[in-house]
Structure 1
Amino acid sequence: MHGSWRPLAVFAEDKPDKTGSHPDSHVDFAADRMTWLDRDGKELMAGQFTVSELTEVKGKATVKIPAFDLTTGSATCPGIYDVYLPNFLRITFRHIKPELGRPSVHTGGGTTTFFLLERISGQKPRPIDTSRTDQERLVGTWSMLISFDDAADKIPPGPSAGQVCVITKERIEWRESPKHPGFRVAADYTIDPTTTPKQMDWQNAKGGNPAPPEDGYLPAIYEFIDEDTLKVCYPESGFKATTPPKERARPTRFQSDGNINLWIMKRQ
């Protein structure tokens, strides 16, 4: 965990992703201190942290919990963490009403704060290649870093989550692994890169819970953080089955709530 990390997403208090307000920021873990700094070195958040492994009995199983506790001022915020893939780090801690206890899943909003971090190494992220179209840039196999549904991450913890999004020129599929024959969510798609945010229309969508409407149309948005990091946001509910496709509300920002799902992915 020690070293410098690039925030890919920071969610707190049901507000928009804080990385949009603080581009080129970084998070440092040194000794027992966590510090989030903006591009000018201004401190955005800081505190003393500890990590430990706790055990909890659930039914007949004993579950190990990677605990992360952050102390800011006189308050200690209980949380969890997960290093995976292996240069990515998820942290969730309860910064409001810490007496409610340690969160059991990665989630951002309400009483919790969530960080998705990428380790900063000698090789900088590739800037967006303007010689390529978005359609060309989308094609590939992408590691699923987070899949937020109802503001909670559905990617299981572990050193290598393994789940991927496979995108061709016409189709997008969330799979359990690159060679897995089935899918969790899939759709045909078209894009409009001229809008803000950029639009992605899903047709013939299948999978998910709840399942897409019978006509399979979902209005989505997408954004490249850099050449190899992608965000996709789409609604899975919040409209009636009888609502005409073009009248279904499209997400306006990259955030998950009770109706909207958010994926953040890294090109393999």
Structure 2
Amino acid sequence: MLTVSESTMIRNLAFPFVCVLWLTYSSVLPVMAQKPTKPAPPTPEEEFRSIEGKWHVLLAHEADANLTDRPEYKNSSVTLSDKQLHWSSADGKTLFSAACNWKHVGKPAWDVDLTPTSDTKEQTTLPGIAVLYDKDILKISWRRTNLDKGRATNFNGNKEHTFLLLSRNPSAKPSGKASLVGQWQMLAALDDSFDKLGSGRRSAVAIFETDSFAAWKSSPSAKGSGYTGGYVLDNSHQPTRIKFNITFPPPGSGATPTPKDGMVPGILEFLDDDTLRLCYRESGWKSTDPPEARQYPEGFYSDGNINLWILRRAKP
């Protein structure tokens, strides 16, 4: 049994230890209670830096026509600053130039007013929109006629608008050995010259197997898709012809029904081994026309009868 003096000595030794332990624990408590802080969202100025500089034109669509199929627009580029949009040909000639006024309206999206460079005193401002669709893909569209209708509210390349699909990376020359088989990210999907992907749907994909496809899936893991069926390629023509055999939506049904036999004619072309444009005719024939009477698109554009997709091979 401990004596009184021994008990007192133990208490005197234990008290400082308990105090040190309490101080140590209490100093840790605030750190333990703090939640990890999220990085601050980028400022509008920081977001604008992500679109400054040089971009390469994948698609330039206006008045229901694809300008990039014209010689002077092939391999053209657009340079952006906070004050100007300058579009130049591959040999450096100016195709279009405009003073710009940008207004940040989203993450990352802008309203933009373009005042084309002109020798005349009258200056017209073209209201438009822009969005960084992916970190290296930019979409810009502006109204070019009927300005009283106001700012464009979607990405459109019809008779009233211009639509640019831009990439940070230039297209390399295709090797001639690229395969359609694989998973493709959908960058633009023009129907009646209107981009149905808009500013969202970045995860939308088209998946091609050896002889079947599933297109317009909202994501690679999504169960459903907008279109499914089979296809046959004909490389004896330039550009390559693709004959779709649509099985879903059921042929003969829907707002724009496919023929009851499901056959839809299209064309495709590799811009480089990992970038593809695909065009198909969705209407413009008589219901009594046999499959061989349905005309293939004569170019890569969109109008009331023809749809145009721009795709790039999905990154692993």
The TM tier, using the shorter chain, reads: 0.7 to 0.9
Partner residue, 2:269? 223
2:172–2:271 CA contact under 8 A, matched in 1:
no
- What CA deviation, in whole Å up to 9, does each residue of 1:12-67 have, x standing for no partner? 22333335422221110123111011111111100111222459xxxxxxxx9731
Partner residue, 1:109? 158
Partner residue, 1:5? 55
Q: How does 1:17-166 map to 2 (within 5 A)?
A: 17-21=67-71, 22-53=73-104, 66-72=110-116, 73=118, 74-120=123-169, 125-130=171-176, 132=177, 137-158=179-200, 161-166=202-207
- Bigger shift: 100-109 or 215-224? 100-109
Q: CA RMSD in A?
A: 2.0
Unmatched 5+ stretches in structure 1: 56-63
The aligned amino acid for 2:219 is: S
Q: CA deviation at 1:192?
A: 1.1
* TM-score where L is the length of structure 2: 0.75
Provide closer, same or farther for how the CA distance between residues 34 and 115 of structure 1 changes in structure 2, counting only shifts above 3 A: same
User: Counterparts of 1:92 and 1:156 in 2: how far apart (Å)?
Assistant: 11
The aligned amino acid for 1:170 is: D
Higher relative contact order (CA 8 A, sep 6+): 1
**SS at structure 2 position matched to 1:138:** coil
2:279–2:309 CA contact under 8 A, matched in 1:
yes
Partner residue, 1:60? none
The aligned amino acid for 2:130 is: Y
Match of 2:282 among 223, 236, 240: 236
**SS at structure 2 position matched to 1:99:** helix
Partner residue, 2:37? none
Q: CA deviation at 1:184?
A: 0.4
User: Counterparts of 1:226 and 1:20 in 2: how far apart (Å)?
Assistant: 18
The structure having more radius of gyration, on CA atoms, is 2
Which structure shows the bigger proportion of residues in helix conformation?
A: 2
* TM-score where L is the length of structure 1: 0.87
Q: CA deviation at 1:172?
A: 2.1
Structure 1 segments of 4 or more deviating over 6 A? Answer: none
1:143–1:162 CA contact under 8 A, matched in 2:
yes
Do residues 247 (structure 1) and 293 (structure 2) align? Answer: yes
Which structure shows the bigger proportion of residues in strand conformation?
A: 1
User: Counterparts of 1:211 and 1:17 in 2: how far apart (Å)?
Assistant: 29
The aligned amino acid for 1:173 is: A
Partner residue, 2:65? 15
User: Counterparts of 1:258 and 1:179 in 2: how far apart (Å)?
Assistant: 32
**Identical columns (%):** 33
Provide closer, same or farther for how the CA distance between residues 168 and 83 of structure 1 changes in structure 2, counting only shifts above 3 A: same
The aligned amino acid for 1:180 is: A
Unmatched 5+ stretches in structure 2: 1-50
Partner residue, 1:58? none
Match of 1:192 among 234, 258, 261: 234
The aligned amino acid for 1:69 is: D
The aligned amino acid for 2:288 is: T
**SS at structure 2 position matched to 1:215:** coil
- What CA deviation, in whole Å up to 9, does each residue of 1:64-108 have, x standing for no partner? 973121111411100111111221111110122322211221110
Q: CA deviation at 1:125?
A: 4.0
Partner residue, 2:311? 265
1:10–1:19 CA contact under 8 A, matched in 2:
no
Partner residue, 2:218? 176
Q: CA deviation at 1:201?
A: 0.5
The aligned amino acid for 1:118 is: S
Q: CA deviation at 1:205?
A: 4.0
Partner residue, 1:206? 248
